[in-house]
Every structure is written in structure tokens, then in C-alpha cells.
Structure 1
Amino acid sequence: MLYDKDIREPLFDFLEETYGKIRIIEEKQVGKSRADIVMVLPGLLTGIEIKSDADTYVRLSRQVKDYDRFFDRNMVVAGSSHAVHVREHVPEWWGIITVEQTDLGIDFYVLREPRENPQMNWKRKLSLLWRPELVHIQELTCMPRYKEKSKAFVIDKMLLKVPKEQLSALVSDELFERDYTRIEEIIREYKIQNRPELKDQTGKKKRIKSRIKGRRKSTIKTR
């Protein structure tokens, strides 16, 4: 029997060999679910759900709905115990990869390639970016800063002003460059620069506390 921990590292190697330049982001909160893997490709985000031999389909219906709101494409990686029935539990546009233990190690087989997700919501996809990353896209596309406006307002304007193909490429670029070791510093700097009320009367910067959740680790795999 293969467990999630047995599958992950060999899966990363398989994805790198199959897709080339990728970035793997693990355990990303999407709606009410947590995406096992977000695979960043140039101009494309793919959500990947792992169903090991030890897992059930109890939560999969909810996970499918959440994944489909955020990602351009989605895939399920299923243990051999699920290989026969997994098609019945995911939409026809989801890719399916089966995994099993062989004498030579962990073996992956692409049962079905993922197709374009017709239910992806651009607002949800853009919400995956930090506000400083959205600001960078605004700068690159010569958009106003909208310093006093909400993140949701900025996303709405971005969808009106930036062509979708260009936006897909820019979103991937931001995620390729994201530095999780500096997340608190980056967000703190953004807030100080864009919210004058965070400075005291002497002009000194106040300390800002940021809570970071829904993130465990990130790896970049390029080829």
C-alpha cells in the first residue's frame, strides 16, 4: 500500500521530467479545501490532488469544486486501489495519473491528460497572488496603483484592462519568483509604503505583525 508520503517526492521528479520548467507549491488553501500540489507552468496553473491507497473519496466532491474555481487545469494522482473507479469521481476535463509500487520503484502512468477547465474563475485565480505581486503586475502593465482600494477592486480593474493571455503569463511569473522566506518582510514593506496611517507622528514606521497560514514549503524544479 502506498501512502501520500511515499508518492510525493517521486511524483515531483515525474512532473519535472514530463513538463520541464515547473514550480511546486504544496498545501495551498483554495476555498474550503487544501490543494495538495499547485504546479506552476509558464502561463498555466495546475491543481493536483493525491488520493493514495489509504485515502477515500469522501471529500473529493468538495475538493473538485474548489480546485475548479482556482486552476486552469486539474489532475488527480490515484493509488492503484483507486485506478478502476477514479474516473467516476472527477470531471471529464480532469487529468488522471495512476501510481503503483513495482520491483523497480514507484511507477506513474498517465491515464488521461488534463484539459482546459471550463469552470476556472479568474477572480479566484488572481486571489492566489499576494497584494505586492498584484502591484508588480500593475506596474508592468502601466495600470494605476489604486493604493486606497481593496484587493478585490484591483483584481476587477486588472481583468478589465489586461488581456487574459498576458495575465496568465504574468501570474505564473509572479509565482515562479515568489520568495516564501521573505513573506513577512514583503507584506510589511507593502503596507508601510501604501498605508500612511501606519507611520506614527514622528514619521517612524510602526511594527506590523503578519500571520502566515496555509503554507508549509515550496520547491522550485527547473529543467
Structure 2
Amino acid sequence: MLRDKEIREPLFDFLEERYGKCRILQEKIMGKSRADIVMVTEGALYGIEIKSDADRYLRLKTQVPDYERYFDYNILAVGSSHALHAAEHVPESWGILSIEESGEGLDFYELRAAGENKKRSLKRQLSLLFRPELSRILKRNALPEYSSLSKTALIRRLTELLSPEILSHELTEELFERDYLKIEEEILAWKRERGRLGGLSTGTGIRRTRRREAKLYVSHRIRGRRKR
């Protein structure tokens, strides 16, 4: 019986072979849910939910709407015991991977390729970025800083001024370049410059006393296609 922890590393290797250059973020908050894996590729975000042989589908019904709001493509990766009925639990646009044990490790079967998710919201996707990352997008595109705007208002302004194609590229580039060892300092510096720092919280979900959380939840490796 395959369990979640036995699936992840082999799954990362499969995704690298299947999609080429990618960055893997684990356990990312999306709305009221948490995505098991967010895969960043050039110009697209993939949400990946794992259901091992030991898991049940109880929470998936409430998770699916959040996956659909945030990601360009979604994939359900299941242990082989779930393969027969997996399609009953997700929309038709979702890809489905079946994973089973073999003598040499794990075998991956793409039962259905992921299709484009038409329900995604670019504003929701941009909300995955921190304020300093949004500021860099403004600077690269020769736009004003808009320092008086809230993060929500700034995202709305970005979607008014830049095309979805440009923003999707900028979003994924920022996620590729994100350094979780530096982002807290960047956020604190940004707030100090504007006189908005109060208490220990940065207002972004990262607290100064919880540095280890980023190490727990994210793979810092950017994976590229192996040399042949």
C-alpha cells in the first residue's frame, strides 16, 4: 500500500521528466484549502492533489473549487487502488495519474492528460506573490510603484495595465526566483520603508519566529530536464 510520503520524491522525478524545467512548492495555502503540490513551469501553474492508497476522498470535494480558482492546470495523483474511480471525483479538465509499486520503484500511468482550467482567476494567482515581488513586476514594466495601494488594489491595477500573457510570465518568473531564505527580510524592509511595520507579523503569513516553516513546505530546487 503506497502512502503519501513514499509517492512524493518519485512523483517529483516523474514531473521533471514529463514537463522539463519546473519548480516544486509543497503544501501551499490556496483560499481555504492547501494544495499538496504547486508545480511552476514557464508560464503556467499546476495544482497537484495526492491521494495515496491510504487516503480517502472526504476533503477533495471542498478542495476542488480552490484548485480551480488558482491553477492553470490541475492533476489528481492517486495510488492504483483509486485509479478506477478517480475520474468520478474531479472535473473533466483535471489530469489523472495512477501510481503503483513495481519491482524497481514506482510506475506512473497518465490515465488522462490535464486540460486548461477555464475557471482560474489571474487575480487569485497573483495573490500567491508577496508585495515586494509585485513591486518588481511594476518596475520591470516601467509602471509607477503605487505604494499607497493595498495588495488587493495593486493586483487589480496590474490586471488593468498588463496583459494576461505578460502577467502569467511575470508570475511564474517570480516564483522560479523566490528565495525563501531572503523573502522575510525583503518584506520587513519594504514595510519599514513605508512605516507600516507593527509587531512581529509581516502581514504575509510569514512570522519572524517561524523561519523553519518555509524549509518544511518548499523544495528550493529548480528542476530541469536531465542531460542525456
> Same-fold call, TM > 0.5?
yes
Query: Quick check: 1:218 aligned with 2:219?
Result: yes
Distance in structure 2 (CA, Å) of the matches to 1:209 and 1:86: 40
Deviation at 1:23, TM superposition (A): 0.2
**Is residue 149 from structure 1 mapped to residue 143 from structure 2 by the alignment?**
no
Structure-2-length-normalised TM-score: 0.90
After TM superposition, give the deviation of residue 143 of structure 1 in Å: 1.5
Q: How high is the sequence identity, in percent, across the aligned residues? A: 53
Q: Which ranges in structure 1 are unaligned for 5 or more consecutive residues? A: 199-205
1:188–1:208 CA contact under 8 A, matched in 2: no
Deviation at 1:138, TM superposition (A): 0.7
How far 1:207 sits from its partner (Å)?
A: 8.2
1:125-144 to 2 correspondence within 5 Å?
A: 125-144=125-144
The CA deviation at 1:209 is 4.5
Equivalent in the alignment of 1:98? 98
Report the Cα offset of residue 197 of structure 1. 5.8
- For 2:130 and 2:10, the matched residues in 1 are separated by 30
Give yes or no for contact 2:42–2:169 (8 Å, CA) kept in 1. yes
Unaligned runs of 5+ in 2: 208-212
SS at match of 2:182: helix
Structure 1 residue 98 displacement after superposition: 0.5
Q: Deviations over 1:130-186 (max 9, x none)?
A: 110000001111221111110011111100110111111110000000001112111
Mapped contact 1:180–1:218 kept (Cα < 8 A): no
- Give the match's secondary structure for 1:68: helix
Query: In the TM superposition, what whole-angstrom CA distance separates every residue of 1:30-80 from its partner, at most 9, and x where no partner exists?
Result: 011110000000000000000000111101111111100001110010111
Q: Which residue of 1 aligns with 2:210?
A: none
Q: Secondary structure at the match of 1:48?
A: strand
Deviation of 1:217 after TM superposition, in Å, equals 2.3
Output the aligned Cα RMSD: 1.6
Larger Rg: 1
TM-score by length of 1: 0.92
User: Contact 1:93–1:114 (CA<8 Å) still a contact in 2?
Assistant: yes
Deviation, structure 1 residue 129: 0.5
Aligned length: 215
Residue in 1 that maps onto 2:173: 173
After the TM superposition, list the runs of 4 or more consecutive aligned residues in structure 1 that deviate by more than 6 angstroms: none
Q: How does 1:40-189 map to 2 (within 5 A)?
A: 40-189=40-189
Which digits, 9 at most, give the CA deviation of each residue in 1:84-137, with x for residues without a partner? 000000000000111000112111111111111011011111100011000000
CA distance in 1, matches of 2:124, 2:35: 14
Partner Cα separation in structure 2 for residue 109 and residue 116 of structure 1: 20
> How far apart, in 2, do the equivalents of 1:30 and 1:155 lie?
16
